[in-house]
């Protein structure tokens, strides 16, 4: 993917203040959604593995063109939101 061609990510809230939805402007999954309440087995889902490496991530739901991240209560969104966005973009770029 050329510089400047990376997909845009829109971040929206959810009814749960500890969850945020990272909506990508293109599809990122061809299959049904997946939920994780702990990191997946190595090699099972590289994007989920990388997101769980961000301090404070408690759970994930991945589907179609979005990733919903649930964080721990003691971690603030300002502390992790940029790292989560970058992690998603980096992983998407590595699969293109």
Q: Give residue 4's region: left, alpha or beta (phi > 0; psi -120 to 50).
A: left
Percentage of the chain beyond pLDDT 90 is 73
| Per-residue pLDDT tens digits for 47-63 | 999 999 999 999 999 99
| Per-residue pLDDT tens digits for 34-51 | 999 999 999 899 999 999
In the three-class reduction of DSSP (H, G, I as helix; E, B as strand; rest coil), residue 17 is classed as coil
Structural domains of the chain in order of their starting residue, each with its CATH number = 9-95 (3.30.1370.70)
Is the pTM higher than 0.85? The answer reads: yes
């Amino acid at each position: 993917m050329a510089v400047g061609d990376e997909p845009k990510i829109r971040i929206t809230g959810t009814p749960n203040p500890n969850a945020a939805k990272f909506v990508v402007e293109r599809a990122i999954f061809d299959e049904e959604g997946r939920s994780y309440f702990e990191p997946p087995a190595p090699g099972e889902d590289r994007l989920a593995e990388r997101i769980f490496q961000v301090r404070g991530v408690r759970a994930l739901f991945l589907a179609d063109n979005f990733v919903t991240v649930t964080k721990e209560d003691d971690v603030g969104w300002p502390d992790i939101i940029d790292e989560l966005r970058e992690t998603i973009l980096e992983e998407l770029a590595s699969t293109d």
